[in-house]
Each structure stands twice: as C-alpha cells, then as structure tokens.
Amino acid sequence: MLRTYTAKYTKIKLGYMGQLVEWPEVITEGKTLEECREMLQDALLEMICAYRQLNKEIPKENALFEQIPVEV
C-alpha cells in the first residue's frame, strides 16, 4: 500500500530540520535540504518498522492545508 505524507522543512542554523505533518514524531535534521529529505525518508521507514513491531497503528495521511492571507 502506498501512503503519502507531508514534509515540512525549516531552515535552522546548522542546515534544515524536516518533520512530517501527519506524524510529528518523525523528525530529523540535515546540513542540506537534500540530506534532510533523505534522512526524513529513512526516519519514516524506521518509524514504520518500529510501529509494526509494537503492533501500533501507523498514522494515515489526512491533513488538510490552506493558506490564510493576512496584511502585516
């Protein structure tokens, strides 16, 4: 089964932090955006493995996003 998750990347002092919106426990950092993407993918696979071993339900992709305009 193919699932899709939403990644959020934040620029930090040492590079980038990546986190999954639907599964906030999946989080990592990398020196470059590409490195962070790769590490986030690895972290996701590891978390899926851990959840399966613990017989825990894997979070589903069900986020809804919208942008809210505001004048500042």
Q: CA 23, CA 71: separation in Å to the nearest integer?
A: 31
Sheet of 27-30, strand order: 7-12, 15-20, 27-30
- Domain limits for position 42: 7-53
Question: Does 68 fall in a domain?
Answer: no
Q: What pLDDT digit, counting tens, does each position of 5-21 carry?
A: 899 999 999 999 999 99
Question: Does 70 fall in a domain?
Answer: no
Q: What pLDDT digit, counting tens, does each position of 14-66 carry?
A: 999 999 998 999 999 999 999 999 999 999 999 999 999 999 999 887 667 77
Domain count for the chain: 1
Question: Does 71 fall in a domain?
Answer: no
pTM (predicted TM-score):
0.81
Question: Does 38 fall in a domain?
Answer: yes
Q: How confident is the model at residue 67, as a pLDDT?
A: 78
Question: Does 67 fall in a domain?
Answer: no
Question: Does 66 fall in a domain?
Answer: no
Question: Does 1 fall in a domain?
Answer: no
Q: How confident is the model at residue 66, as a pLDDT?
A: 76
